[in-house]
Amino acid sequence: MRLLFASLLILLLTIFSLSQYTIQQYLSIRSASGPSISPDGTKIAYLTNISGTSQVWIVDVANGKPRQLTFYDDNINFVSFSPRGDGLVFGKARGGDENTQLFWISLDGSNVKQLTNDPKVRHNFGGWLKDGTKIYYASNKRNRNYFDIYSMDLTTGKEDLIYQQDGSNSFAAISDDGNLLVVSRPSTELSLDNNLYLIDLKTKRETLLTPHKDASLFGDVTLLKDSIVFTSNKDREFAAIMQINLNNLKEVKVLNPNDKWDVESLVFPENGKYFAYTINTDGFTELWLRAFKSDEKTTRILAERRQVKLTARGVASGFQFSKNGKLLVFSFNSSRYNSDIWLYDVERDQLKQITESDLAGIERSSFIEPELIKYKTFDGLQIPAWYYKPKESGKKLAVIVSVHGGPEAQERPVFNAIYQYFLSRGYAILAPNVRGSTGYGKTYTHLDDIYKREDSVKDLAAAVEWLKTFGNADEKKIAVMGGSYGGYMTMAAITLYPDLWAAAVNTVGIVNWETFLKNTSEYRRRQREVEYGFLERDLEFLRSISPIYKVDRIKTPLFVIHGKNDPRVPYTEAEQIVEALKKQGKVVEYRLFDDEGHGISKLKNRLELYPAVVKFLEKYLQAN
């Protein structure tokens, strides 16, 4: 009896302690990501939001002592070590407008130099010349619709336009001597389709490296002495590692015949014995090393490979080797581990955690891992989804259906503080990868293209049926929320299936496809038309799937969130739906943030926003 009483007391205390964590605590959980390692492997620069926005920090690997280098109100979006090891380049935009400017900073933070200074122009950092004298980037400086490739001499500050071509060009690779450039350019006719081009910067000769017929992606390019290695799903359902011989461009080798999952990251060291790649296995990262051998003229990919055991099942990204190839840095997170920086010793097969981001007083043991489930939708297709259930889930559950953006993206088992807060309050979370998501093959990803757009919304209705039948859900307490394209899906769900939802939260979502395509940033219109439909050709169809024309069907209380500087989905999308709902006397709450863009990222704004979202959902869902 005493043992039973003690057990019950412990259980009650555990439940009580879990319920005491506030939304402010969950929002204050920190993260670290985007690492860059010094050539000698002694230092790592990275981004962390300890100060409330993502800033550049640097840590000595030996003593583990981090130092903050930047102190801006706006987020830093990347940092990269010079190949010389004498400084860093980082990028920063203003108020979320995504017009990134490039900066140089010394390792002690005392010397900061702005390299580009045109606040109306984007600068997409590409990489370095091997000797560290130049950087390369894409910019829409010439024409806001197109991106050209530039180089900059860091000694003189001189900027050179090295490749000009109408299109959304991006830097892919540069040869050690700076004479050969590889450029990636997306298709203007097909979604999820691009090509690689090899440009001889001396002769200006341009060669198409990747001729193909069907939509195919080519990425993570490494330019070796005699070949180019990259990932691609050309003539395949899933991306593999491929190699093109520079002496015979028609010779394409598939280095890992993988017919089930995508290779998603590929990185080579400047020197060393192994390169690294990852496989996206049902959303989880598998990290692998594979042997290669180089001499002055050739590089041979060898059969030897081994898997690196990660600290948990989760998602790793941002890989970079030290110059000698003996150390590999990356960021890792999972549903229970917030994002941190890790270092892998290739020779010793040892993994070391470099940063330990604060949990704001919350016990890691309280975090909940999801179950990977599949449910059948209207046409028999199996939809993968992550189902998070609260620890005390005996009663019928209030559920939040969370829809990812993209749509060319994937819900993965990563750390989500908002999910964990709602789980601690008795809500369940279902996060589906509806048709159109990546990670499940080329065919699956294209199942929502243009005229098939609303088939993906039917997948959300099928998710509700699964929740009621198998998920122990209270059918009167199911909400839907999403951001960006997920915001559109939220709006489509409450207009096409108005009786299914108790509440909805739309963050930076599209409500009118016509105005979205007309008002999005100039360079993005054609990129998005190949996925959603063309204004000149498909205007009537685009209007037919726009939630703004179905406001009269909305019964669901709605919370709308937007950043005023959003260059992707203009905030006027939010203004349209809020005004229309208010005119009809329907329930809508609205938060617009003047210093944010495509999402709400600054801690001060999140601390203002999410308590209101919590109150809104509690009002209409009333979780146990």
Instruction: Write down the pLDDT at residue 392.
Output: 80
Distance (Å, whole) CA 476 – CA 538: 37
| Percentage of residues of the chain with pLDDT beyond 70 | 96
Question: DSSP 3-state helix, strand, coil percentages of the chain (rounded to 5)?
Answer: 20, 35, 40
Residue at 520: amino acid letter: T
Q: Quickly state the pLDDT bin for 13 (edges 50, 70, 90).
A: very low
pLDDT grade for 6, boundaries at 50, 70 and 90: low
Helix, strand, or coil (residue 220): strand
Count CA atoms closer than 13 A to 201's CA, side-chain side.
19
Question: How far are the Cα atoms of 394, 459, 463, 563, 574 from residue 493, in angstroms, in the given order?
Answer: 28, 10, 11, 22, 16
pTM recorded for the entire structure: 0.94
Residue 10 has pLDDT above 60, yes or no: no
Q: Is the pLDDT of residue 19 over 80?
A: no
pLDDT tens across 452-506, in order?
Answer: 999 999 999 999 999 999 999 999 999 999 999 999 999 999 999 999 999 999 9
Residue listed under structure tokens 């926003």: 609
Terminal-to-terminal C-alpha distance of the chain: 29
Residues with Cβ within 8 Å of 451's Cβ and at least 6 positions away in sequence, in order, are 533, 541
Give me the pLDDT at residue 256, please.
Answer: 80
Longest dimension (CA), the chain: 87
Average pLDDT score over residue span 78-88: 98
Q: What is the pLDDT of residue 395?
A: 87
**Rounded CA gap, 80 and 188, in Å?**
31
Residues 255/280, Cβ–Cβ less than 8 Å: no
Query: Using one digit for the tens of pLDDT, what is the confidence trace for 145-155?
Result: 999 999 999 99
Structural domains for the chain: 31-168 (2.120.10.30), 366-621 (3.40.50.1820)
Closest-CA residue to 400 (of 120, 180, 137, 620): 620
Mean residue pLDDT of the chain comes to 94
Structure tokens given for 475: 């059918």
Query: Could you tell me which residue, 181 or 249, shows the higher pLDDT?
Result: 181
pLDDT above 80 for 7: no
Confidence at 507, pLDDT banded by 50, 70, 90:
very high
- Tally of CB atoms within 10 A around 223: 19
Structure confidence at residue 84 (pLDDT): 97
pLDDT(2) > 60: no
Question: Within 13 Å, how many C-alpha atoms sit on residue 101's CB side?
Answer: 15
Cβ–Cβ under 8 Å, residues 171 and 138: yes
pLDDT for 17 equals 47
Among residues 29, 24, 74, the alpha carbon closest in space to that of 602 is found at: 74
* Omega prior to 186 cis, within 30 of 0: no
Q: Dump pLDDT digits (tens) for 313-368.
A: 999 999 999 999 999 999 999 999 999 999 999 999 999 999 999 999 999 999 99
Q: Using pLDDT thresholds of 50, 70 and 90, give the confidence band for residue 522.
A: confident
Say if residue 4's pLDDT is above 80.
no
Residue 553: exposure state from Cβ atoms within 10 A (0-12, 13-18, ≥19): middle
**Contact by Cβ (8 Å): 174, 163:** no
Return the pLDDT at 250.
79
Sign of CA dihedral 327, 48, 331, 563: negative
Confidence class of residue 512 from pLDDT cuts 50, 70 and 90? very high
Beta strands 284-294 and 274-281, pairing class: antiparallel
Q: Give the per-residue pLDDT at 524.
A: 87
**Residue 255 pLDDT > 90, yes or no?**
no
Token pair in block for residue 536: 């000149």
From residue 317, alpha-carbon distances to 155, 333, 346, 397, 525 in Å are 31, 9, 17, 34, 28
| Secondary structure tally for the chain: helices H, strands E | 11, 36
Residues 582-608: pLDDT tens digits? 999 999 999 999 999 999 999 999 999
| Residues whose CB is less than 8 angstroms from the CB of residue 374 and which lie 6 or more positions away in sequence, other chains included | 382, 383, 384, 385
> Is 80 exceeded by the pLDDT of residue 14?
no
Q: Where are the alpha helices (DSSP H) in 497-602?
A: 513-519, 522-532, 535-544, 572-583
CA distances from 273 to 270, 326, 372 (A): 10, 8, 36
